[in-house]
Amino acid sequence: MGGRRPVWSRAVNTPYESLVVELEGGVLRVTVDNPPVNVLDVRLMEDLTSLLTAVAPRPDVRVIVFDSADADFFIAHVDMSLIDDPHAFDEIAARAPAGLNPFQALGERLRHQPQATIVKLTGTARGGGAEFVAAADMAFAAIDGAALGQIESLMGIVPGGGGTQYTRARMGRNRALEVVLGGGLVDARTAERYGWVNRALPADELDRFVDELARNIADLPPGVLAAAKRALPPTSLQLGLLAEHDAWAEQFARPATERLIREGLATGAQTRQGERRLEELLRAVALD
């Protein structure tokens, strides 16, 4: 595990099982801590949604910086073991806005958050984790450590949490298709060139750069941040998200998808060793 920060529960006055939260000078630092590899499970989904909802109206929170307690993994991907518990997300889904599945609802909540949202990426972010990175206002990635991937195609599905729409908006249709259909990891330098992240920085410069940017934004004169977000609103993706959900749900219902997910878990997915070579592992399963 990477370095861990103490919980500062006064920041939000709400308990979080998978997040470590600190507030200082208008900057809320949110560290994902959901071992062993930070899968996007029900607990992490609930914690992220609850936190974003709780701090949205707070004027003392002006910037939110997301990072990970584990330097190797940001948010791995949606919990594959949910194949055995198809109703696990029912409660979250019931609270999602009309026209959005629960995974899309998390991304859209982040995209429309009134605070400036920044991801500091040192390790891998796949699937739902990569979608979370793309939904944030800004993302900065460590060279020779950070990587992103939409791996859903290797499980017989397409991204279902906004990934098709967020990648298209950030990098254009042709590169989005490369990412979605290729299923491979994209290194930090390429992610920067494609527009998936703002910048790729040397790992020893990442903390300083992001911390300075977050403090500078938090210290802006009153009203500037809100005015900038009004002038640069998120693009509406409503129709695209509906199309994405239909495509994802259709593929997810196929028996071949269940087989790929189950065999992926059986051969090491969601273990630290397996996640280090997840694309290779899933391709091998698909060829069996």
Q: Is the pLDDT of residue 125 over 80?
A: yes
What are the structure tokens assigned to 57, written together?
Answer: 């109206």
β-bridge partners, 19: 32
CA–CA gap between residue 190 and residue 198 (Å, rounded)? 11
β-bridge partners, 187: 147
List, for residues 136-169, the tens digit of each pLDDT value.
999 999 999 999 999 999 999 999 999 999 999 9
CA-closest candidate to residue 141, choices 66, 32, 44, 29? 66
Confidence of residue 11 (pLDDT cuts 50, 70, 90): very low
Confidence of residue 288 (pLDDT cuts 50, 70, 90): confident
**Of 2-6, 171-175, 176-180, 246-250, minimum mean pLDDT range:** 2-6
Give the domain 9-287 fold. Answer: 2-enoyl-CoA Hydratase; Chain A, domain 1 (3.90.226)
List, for residues 174-193, the tens digit of each pLDDT value.
999 999 999 999 999 999 99
What are the structure tokens assigned to 213, written together?
Answer: 């940017």
State yes or no: cis peptide before 15, omega within 30 of 0: no
Q: Which residue has the tokens 């194949």?
A: 83
CA-closest candidate to residue 34, choices 65, 79, 64? 79
CA–CA gap between residue 194 and residue 284 (Å, rounded)? 28
Q: What is the pTM of this model?
A: 0.94
CA–CA gap between residue 288 and residue 280 (Å, rounded)? 13
Calculate mean pLDDT across residues 27-48: 97
| Phi, psi of 148, deg, nearest 5 | -130, 150
Give the residue extent of every domain in the chain: 9-287
CA–CA gap between residue 137 and residue 133 (Å, rounded)? 9
Q: Tell me what pLDDT residue 86 has.
A: 80
What are the structure tokens assigned to 260, written together?
Answer: 């790929």
Q: Tell me what pLDDT residue 17 has.
A: 95
